[in-house]
Every structure is written in C-alpha cells, then in structure tokens.
C-alpha cells in the first residue's frame, strides 16, 4: 500500500482501500449479509495492522457492502465443531478485541444497514460509530441458544448496565436513534449523508496531532478499569510523557504565535 495514492486490496472476505486521510475496510460478502466468519475477523485484524502503518491514513473505517453492515457470525459449521475447536476458532475474535484498543489511530464503524449479533459486537468494539438512520441493531445470540461472551465486554462499556443486560437477554431489535441514545453509536446520519458524515469525522482527526490522538486513545483504554488511585497515577504519567513529543511543543508554539500548527506525529 502506498502512502501517496489510493490503492485497493481484495481479500477473501473483505475489501481494503487506502483513500487518505482514511483507510476503508468493507465487509464484502453482501449476498451472505456480510458474515463475520473467523477468517473474515482475521482479515479485518490484518487490514487494521496494515492501515496503522500507513502514514497518510489518519483513521480507519469499517463498513459493509450492500444494504447490510453485518448479520453476525457465520453459523455454518458450528454444529460440527467440538467446544475445544470452537474455542480455538473464537481466538481470532478475542485477538481483534485486544488489537483495536492498542491501535494509535481511531477505528470508526460506519453502520450502513442491518447490524446483528457479531455485527453489534464489532460496532461496539470500534472507537466511534456513525450509523445510517436505516440501521437496526440486535444482539441475537440468545435466539440461537448462544450466550454472549466477548461481545458482552464491549456492550457493557458502551451502554448503561441494565440496558446492556436487556439487549443481551431479549435480543430486541432497536433502531439507529435508540442506539444513539443508549451510547452504542455516536451519531445518526440520513442514509444519503452517511458517507459525508464519516468523511467529516475523519477530516477532523486529520487536522489534529497524530501523537495527541494516540495518547488520548491510550489513556481512554488504559484507565477505564484501573482502581481510582492507580488510574490517577497512570493518567499523570501519560500526560507527562505526551508533553515530551514534538507535536506538543509545536502545538504550544503555534498557539502562542497565532498560527496553524504543522504536525509531524512525533
């Protein structure tokens, strides 16, 4: 992938585009409602790592081809797997949940349509989410006799506790506006304006210091589960370290000199 021109890559389950300042990952099996097979999850993780290394990419966007974001896990083969085989297969999803918080660039879910089960988990895992007003959401696992596992981790961190449990237990379908009220998504846009809304968000990130964005994201995930005193101490350390960056000195100098900053990401 080049950092100076747009390039596209087709994987088996996804399509990856570099269109600075964004990198786009599209779940690309619309005829199957963009299932999240474990192979697809592994491809998403590989693509995110590649886009993280692209200097011209300032944010990564995940969306679905066609009219569906994702209808969730690919259930084909579930009946033929033993519990140990299923646990091994699920490792890819676990690794994706470990990866996203460690990336220095924001990951944005662009929810263009129906979003079910693992699709909801993917949306909640992303740092931010913008949904089409046509989007609908449901954690449908219990209707298949499956309990929420890793998906519950990000659901609990996105939605108030009792509402999170209700979504998990009832498999109730909610519209985009209710998803926004609950905190599952950040913003709802008219369907025809969804692309523009995402581009505006990415452009906003592109105007800011890559180093400051990376430190803010690290602090958000590093501090959320620490005891209060430990969180305060870790937060202080991250703040002090961020002040040693070239971007920090440039940002302060630009403010004092009343000019636009020139970020280097160092």
Annotation marks residue 67 as catalytic: no
Q: How many CB atoms lie within 10 A of CB 194?
A: 23
Which residue of the set 141, 143, 199, 218 is catalytic?
141
162 touches 137 (CB < 8 A): no
Backbone angles phi, psi at 17, to 5 degrees: -125, 135
Q: Which of 68, 152, 151, 154 is nearest to 111 (CA)?
A: 68
Place of tokens 């100076």: 4
Which residues are designated catalytic? 141
């Amino acid at each position: 992938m080049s950092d100076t021109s747009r390039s596209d890559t087709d994987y088996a389950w996804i399509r990856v585009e570099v269109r600075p300042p964004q990198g786009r990952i599209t779940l690309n099996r619309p005829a199957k409602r963009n299932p999240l097979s474990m192979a697809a999850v592994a491809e998403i993780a590989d693509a995110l790592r590649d886009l993280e290394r692209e200097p011209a990419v300032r944010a990564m966007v995940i969306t679905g081809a066609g009219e569906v974001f994702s209808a969730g896990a690919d259930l084909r083969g579930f009946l033929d797997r033993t519990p140990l085989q299923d646990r091994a297969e699920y490792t890819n999803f676990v690794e994706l949940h470990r990866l996203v918080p460690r990336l220095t660039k924001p990951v944005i879910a662009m929810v263009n349509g129906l979003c079910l089960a693992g699709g909801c988990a993917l949306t909640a895992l992303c740092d931010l989410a913008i949904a089409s007003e046509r989007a609908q959401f449901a954690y449908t696992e219990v209707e298949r006799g499956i309990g929420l596992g890793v998906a519950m981790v990000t659901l609990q961190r996105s939605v108030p506790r009792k509402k999170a449990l209700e979504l998990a237990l009832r498999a109730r379908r909610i519209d985009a506006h209710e998803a926004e009220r609950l905190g599952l998504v950040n913003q709802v846009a008219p369907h025809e304006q969804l692309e523009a809304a995402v581009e505006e968000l990415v452009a906003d990130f592109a105007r800011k210091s890559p180093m400051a964005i990376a430190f803010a994201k690290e602090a958000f995930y590093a501090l959320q589960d620490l005891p209060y005193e430990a969180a305060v101490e870790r937060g202080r350390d991250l703040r002090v370290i961020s002040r040693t960056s070239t971007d920090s000195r440039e940002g302060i100098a630009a403010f004092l000199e009343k000019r636009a900053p020139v970020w280097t990401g160092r």
